Amino acid sequence: MTIRPILRFPDERLRTRCAAVTRFDAALAALAADLAETMRAAPGIGITAAHIGELVRLTVIEVDGPASTRIYVNPQIDWFSTETRRHTEGSVSMPGVTEEIERPARIRLSYQSLSGEHQTEEADGLLSVCLQHEIDQLDGIFWIDRLSRLKRERVVKKFRKLQP
């Protein structure tokens, strides 16, 4: 396991739609392990392969620490509730800034495991928020794209002030 460099906003790769994973092998498992280590070091609770410049549909999420590690390959949202919730979000690619985003409260998704097995899952609460955030990233939608223009400009300005 290796801690990998994280791309920083405004790197264009963060707005690139990721390709589907087609090879379920030791290299994919190693990439997932690297993502988990990189996410913990950031620190964060979710990360995608895109955050480290690997443009494939892979995300690792830990909403309750390392014992709760979840790996999703080729995830996609199949259903979302009409009920919404607001939650504070940020990104390992834009550390130091956060903003509230409104998203569906519950989702159902389909994905594959590291071995390629097809699975479905329903999520609510923080896991739902995290999955939606990371799947957006895999689709080339950076989290600030979900903000109004005014809030987005304010977040970007604040982030730029934090840079050395």
pLDDT in tens, 17-46: 999 999 999 999 999 999 999 999 999 999
Query: Do 24 and 115 contact (CB within 8 A), yes or no?
Result: yes
Q: Extract the tokens encoding 147.
A: 């903000």
- Please report the beta strands in the chain, taking only residues with DSSP state E, as ranges in sequence order: 46-48, 58-61, 70-80, 84-89, 99-104, 106-112, 118-124
Q: What's the CA gap between 70 and 61, in Å, rounded? A: 5
Tens of pLDDT along 86-98? 999 999 999 999 9
Asked whether the predicted pLDDT for residue 1 surpasses 90, the reply is: no
Residue 1 domain-assigned (yes or no): no
> Residue 140: which domain range?
12-162
Residue 139 domain-assigned (yes or no): yes
The pLDDT of residue 104: 98
Residue 3 domain-assigned (yes or no): no
Asked whether the predicted pLDDT for residue 100 surpasses 90, the reply is: yes
Residue 2 domain-assigned (yes or no): no
- Residue 56: give its domain's CATH number: 3.90.45.10
Residue 5 domain-assigned (yes or no): no
Residue 17 domain-assigned (yes or no): yes
Tens of pLDDT along 48-77? 999 999 999 999 999 998 888 999 999 999
Report how many domains make up the chain: 1
Q: What's the mean pLDDT in 96-120?
A: 98
Residue 86 domain-assigned (yes or no): yes
Positions marked active-site = 134
What is the rounded average pLDDT for all residues in the chain?
A: 97
The pLDDT of residue 128: 98
Q: What's the mean pLDDT in 115-132?
A: 97
Residue 73 domain-assigned (yes or no): yes
The pLDDT of residue 13: 97
Query: Do 87 and 126 contact (CB within 8 A), yes or no?
Result: yes
Those residues whose C-beta lies under 8 Å from the C-beta of residue 70, and which sit 6 or more positions away, are 60, 61, 62, 127
The pLDDT of residue 164: 85
